[in-house]
Amino acid sequence: MSDLNEEFVAEAQEIVEMLSRDLLLLDQAQKDGREDVERVNDVFRGIHTLKGIAGMFGYPEVSAVSHSLEDLLDALRLGKLKLTAAVLDLLFEGAEALQRLLSSTEGTPPADVTDLIGRVAAFLVPQSEEMPGLERLALSTEVLSVLTEYEEHRLRTNVDAEIPIYRVQARFSLATLDTELEALRERAKAHVEIITYLPNADVLVDDGIELDVLIASDLELERVIEILALPGSTITLVEAQAQTKVSQRPAAASVRVAAPEEIEESIDEEVDAHEVPDASLRTLTNTVRVDIRKLDRLMNVVGELAIVRSTVASLIDRLRSGEPAASLSSELYRINRGFERRLDELQGGILDVRMVPLQQVFDRLARVVRQVSRDNDKQVRLAVTGADTEVDKLIVEELVDPMMHLVRNAIDHGIESPTQREISGKNKVGTLALNAYQKGNRVVLEIEDDGGGIRSERLIEVAQERGLIPPGSGQDMADSELHQLIFHPGLSTRTHVTDTSGRGVGMDVVRTNITRLGGVIDVQSEEGVGTKFTITLPVTLAIIRALLIRVAGQLFAIPITAVQEALLLRPEELSSVDGREVLTLRGSTLPLCRLANFFGYESKQERYIVVSKVGARRIGFVTDSLEEQRDIIIKPLGKTLNSVHGFAGATDLGDQRVALVLDASALLDELSVGSRQLAAGAG
């Protein structure tokens, strides 16, 4: 049952995520004054499915909330309720409630959803408004009698809006009926509303069926014919008095409407949104949906590896039979090369099945933007690009909460109120942009707002009060170093605490989590213009390339993504600036860190400098020797050593040796804090 429950949670999580994505699109359509009937139907079907499987697997609270939302959506699709901002708020709150219920662990009491269900019921008061009848349509009693309540509603709605109704008679093959109807829906959905399909019992077709398709469209008849592209069919305009029959022209090329690449969020109405408790946006399962073709490729590689194994076994038998090893060396070399190629293919294939698009994160963040904007009475437009960029599933789940903190801070701290923005000459609607792209074997994410930016003077003042920098200093600090101060625990430039921020803990969590993923976060800000956070992460944490170095006889590993170059150590080229050892490298100053001294070792064999670049910052690690490059798997240090800074974990080198993996970003932070404290003590 535990496996079945896990399968249910994975399926339910996917339905809730799709629900949230569709609600955001409905919200945008409502603001644009558009009616998205098909989207309402999609949401209704998803909630109906969730209600059914929740009852089957014994989740009564999830089933109750789903049933309540299903009633609300049914009233929307039948025209008994208008899609207003207040109704959308309730639907969003329902999605959040479902997320919380699914997140409840064993032994944790489920969230109380009685109030939500009661408020949903308050919207379901029967409407007294009369809808127009269908009497003036030239449809037979037999046709009208088989229409569902929803189909009758859609007919009435279109008649009321004076949108022409057409009856399309077309023949379909029984063998391909499903695919043909799906293709027809795809062609029609952006231009034509398909109300129903009715089999025509009066016409018999060998190996086929003739359907009467009722559609509504305000396009010209010629354009409708072109869109439907049904050869040999006829279209009848359904009217009370006259009927016009038109023979169908040869089929035109079908047009597929692409899904939107961006979700734009703008808050134009002031509606009190019900407050929803803050919660993690992480998904609840570790499952990944995989294209079967990817698994087929992996099976092929495994089959080829089995052939390599058989060949190696044959060589062993030949060696045991007394055949000279020298005569087998070239053959063994060839087998080893083939083994390496197959192993690389297997490694790449396994990494590929772990990859998921960042769209999953951006969809969840869009909900946060909508809610936080309303809570802060601000108008925010969310622009998303690069959502199809793929990252390891593990990184995606660890990334979503830090990005939520950044988005909340950008809206609360950065983007001004509509009044302030108009006074500053800005558009009253602020812009929050999320961008992602792949750069080599790393992924870059950018969170940028066009708000007020970071106030440097206020930041310096607070940093001095907290003892992070010496009194009277800070004005000579580089912007990149100054902006890094916002990540220190307890530091906030906010003069008052709100429900969203102001306690100085969120940004510390952001940097800690990003660092744990082997990434780095940089800040660029200009007062009055805006702020941009840039997160650089590895594509995967499963297997990485690392440089092995030796310090005082001990082996360490540095991820190759953090290594820019390696140099010979020449003592005569070193100098000292503000008590720190530095090297002038191609016209710029490179601070150095003698790892032996930093770790408390003694070494007299320091010969190399490994230049490490983390974001916009660089440092040179002084080591004894450079060993080799190797693919490694990073293992966590465990709870006991979790508080030790400067290490990303450890790795087994496969020959009974273990090396600690250096975290260049954390070491840079440790060194910068230490140098500031040293400067403060000297002052």
pLDDT tens digits for 631-683? Answer: 887 777 777 776 677 787 888 887 778 888 888 877 877 776 554 443 444 34
| Rounded mean pLDDT, 421-434 | 91
Q: Does the pLDDT value for residue 4 go beyond 60?
A: yes
pLDDT of residue 345: 85
Q: Does the pLDDT value for residue 86 go beyond 80?
A: yes
Of residues 395 and 500, which shows the higher confidence score?
395
Of residues 480 and 27, which shows the higher confidence score?
27
Contact present, 431 and 644 (Cβ < 8 Å): no
Q: Does the pLDDT value for residue 75 go beyond 50?
A: yes
Of residues 269 and 326, which shows the higher confidence score?
326
Tell me the pLDDT band of 435, cut-offs 50, 70 and 90: very high
- The Cα-based distances of 19 to 23, 132, 202, 390 in angstroms read 6, 32, 41, 22
Q: How many CB atoms lie within 10 A of CB 137?
A: 18
Most confident residue range from 170-174, 271-275, 328-332: 328-332
Q: Does the pLDDT value for residue 502 go beyond 90?
A: no
Q: Does the pLDDT value for residue 434 go beyond 90?
A: yes
Q: How much of the chain exceeds pLDDT 90, in percent? A: 8
Q: Does the pLDDT value for residue 458 go beyond 60?
A: yes
3-state secondary structure of 508: helix
pLDDT of residue 261: 36
pLDDT of residue 244: 41
CA distance 90 to 640: 45
Tell me the pLDDT band of 532, cut-offs 50, 70 and 90: very high
Of residues 581 and 503, which shows the higher confidence score?
581
CA distance 63 to 47: 9
Count of residues making up the chain: 683
| Rounded mean pLDDT, 309-335 | 84
Contact present, 81 and 107 (Cβ < 8 Å): no
Phi, psi of 184, rounded to the nearest 5 degrees: -65, -45
pLDDT of residue 202: 62
Buried/exposed code over 577-608 (b: 16+ C-beta within 10 A; e: otherwise):
eeebbbbebeeeebbbbbbbebeeeebeebeb
pLDDT of residue 147: 78
Q: Does the pLDDT value for residue 283 go beyond 60?
A: no
Tell me the pLDDT band of 432, cut-offs 50, 70 and 90: very high
pLDDT of residue 637: 77
Q: How many CB atoms lie within 10 A of CB 525?
A: 22
For residue 380, the cross-strand partners are 430
Tell me the pLDDT band of 179, cut-offs 50, 70 and 90: confident
Tell me the pLDDT band of 479, cut-offs 50, 70 and 90: confident
Least confident window among 69-78, 270-279, 554-563: 270-279
Q: Which residue has the tokens 């059914």?
A: 52
| H-helix segments, 466-529 | 479-483, 506-516
Tell me the pLDDT band of 579, cut-offs 50, 70 and 90: confident
Q: Does the pLDDT value for residue 257 go beyond 50?
A: no
Tell me the pLDDT band of 117, cut-offs 50, 70 and 90: confident
Q: Does the pLDDT value for residue 241 go beyond 60?
A: no
| Rounded mean pLDDT, 50-71 | 86
pLDDT of residue 268: 33
Mean pLDDT of the chain: 78
pLDDT of residue 624: 92
Secondary structure, 3-state, 29-50: HHHCCCCCHHHHHHHHHHHHHH
Q: Does the pLDDT value for residue 285 go beyond 70?
A: no
Q: Cβ neighbours of residue 681 under 8 Å, at least 6 residues apart?
A: none
Most confident residue range from 124-133, 494-503, 638-647: 638-647
Long-range contacts of 37-40 (CB under 8 A, 24+ apart): 37/77, 37/154, 37/193, 38/189, 38/193, 40/73, 40/76, 40/77, 40/83
Tell me the pLDDT band of 204, cut-offs 50, 70 and 90: low
pLDDT of residue 608: 92
CA distance 146 to 136: 18
Least confident window among 77-91, 118-132, 161-175, 511-525: 118-132
C-alpha 302: how far from chain center: 32
Q: Does the pLDDT value for residue 497 go beyond 70?
A: no
pLDDT of residue 626: 92
Q: Does the pLDDT value for residue 449 go beyond 90?
A: yes
| Rounded mean pLDDT, 547-569 | 89
Q: State the maximum Cα–Cα separation within the chain, in Å, rounded to a whole number.
A: 103
Tell me the pLDDT band of 431, cut-offs 50, 70 and 90: very high
CA distance 628 to 647: 19
For residue 105, the cross-strand partners are none
CA distance 23 to 76: 13
